[in-house]
Amino acid sequence: MILQGDKIVRQYKHKSGVINALDQVSFMVEKGDFVTVTGPSGSGKSTLLLSMFGLVRLTSGTVIFNGQRIDDCSDRKLTEIRRKSVGYILQSFALIPYLTTIQNVMMPLALDRVPAGEQLKRASEILDFVGLSDRMDHLPRELSAGQQQRVAIARSIVHRPAIIMADEPTGNLDPALSLEILEFLKKINREQHITIMMVTHSPVAAEYGSMKLHLRDGKIVIRNS
């Protein structure tokens, strides 16, 4: 077991009262799982993803990662865990516009103070893995949307994380590009042995999951594995 949530609650105060974005959510993820999280807008999907490693703090409940309780860790400790063990892929790509492809991919390694030569070597290997070795010196604006998302994927795995948290990674892509990105994620899951937890609104993307969670009103209402 790599990730476990137990009776997770996240509440927001609103003028109309308290809103339970997550309401007693419990689940277990095994190492190597590809978890897809679906549900209507406002069901708590993204809140669940963000709350796992402290980007959103829980109101109550526990999160255990690699056998260690982390929901009560300090912000500094959670930042360290995210930097070393978690990769994030976002709908917006979130590439730095004035950095080249390889500079964007090297960024997590630079933040972790990996030696420059090792940064270049690992980033080059990852870009070859995602099929972008011929685009290393391109800026984001010089890449297609699918290529930009592949750069974002490369950046998310260059530091060899244990788990990837993906929030609607195909949301800005057309159907053909979406399938391309989903196949890359499946390849990473199988060949790099990286656990993936992916929020999606797409029924096609949801089928890539070896474990499927469906949320409604902050609760898990369907669980398949």
Q: Where are the domains of the chain?
A: 3-224
Q: What is the pLDDT of residue 214?
A: 95
Does pLDDT of 225 surpass 80? no
CATH number assigned to the domain covering 3-224: 3.40.50.300
Q: What is the pLDDT of residue 91?
A: 80
- Are 148 and 89 contacting, i.e. CB atoms less than 8 angstroms apart? no
- Can you tell me the mean pLDDT for 3-13? 94
Q: What rounded mean pLDDT belongs to the chain?
A: 92
User: What is the distance of C-alpha 107 from the center of its chain?
Assistant: 17
Render pLDDT for 36-65 as a digit per residue (tens, 0 to 9): 999 998 899 999 999 999 999 999 999 999
- Are 164 and 188 contacting, i.e. CB atoms less than 8 angstroms apart? yes
| Single pTM value for the model | 0.90
Phi/psi at 85 (5° precision)? -125, -5
Q: What is the pLDDT of residue 94?
A: 86
Render pLDDT for 142-186 as a digit per residue (tens, 0 to 9): 999 889 988 999 999 999 999 999 999 888 788 888 898 899 899
Q: What is the pLDDT of residue 77?
A: 95
Using CA atoms, how far apart are residues 130 and 138, in angstroms rounded to an integer? 15
- Are 222 and 213 contacting, i.e. CB atoms less than 8 angstroms apart? yes
List the structure tokens of 33.
Answer: 């799982």
Q: What is the pLDDT of residue 58?
A: 95
- Can you tell me the mean pLDDT for 3-12? 95
Using CA atoms, how far apart are residues 74 and 76, in angstroms rounded to an integer? 5
Render pLDDT for 106-150 as a digit per residue (tens, 0 to 9): 999 998 889 999 999 999 999 998 899 999 999 999 999 889 988
Give the length of the chain.
Answer: 225
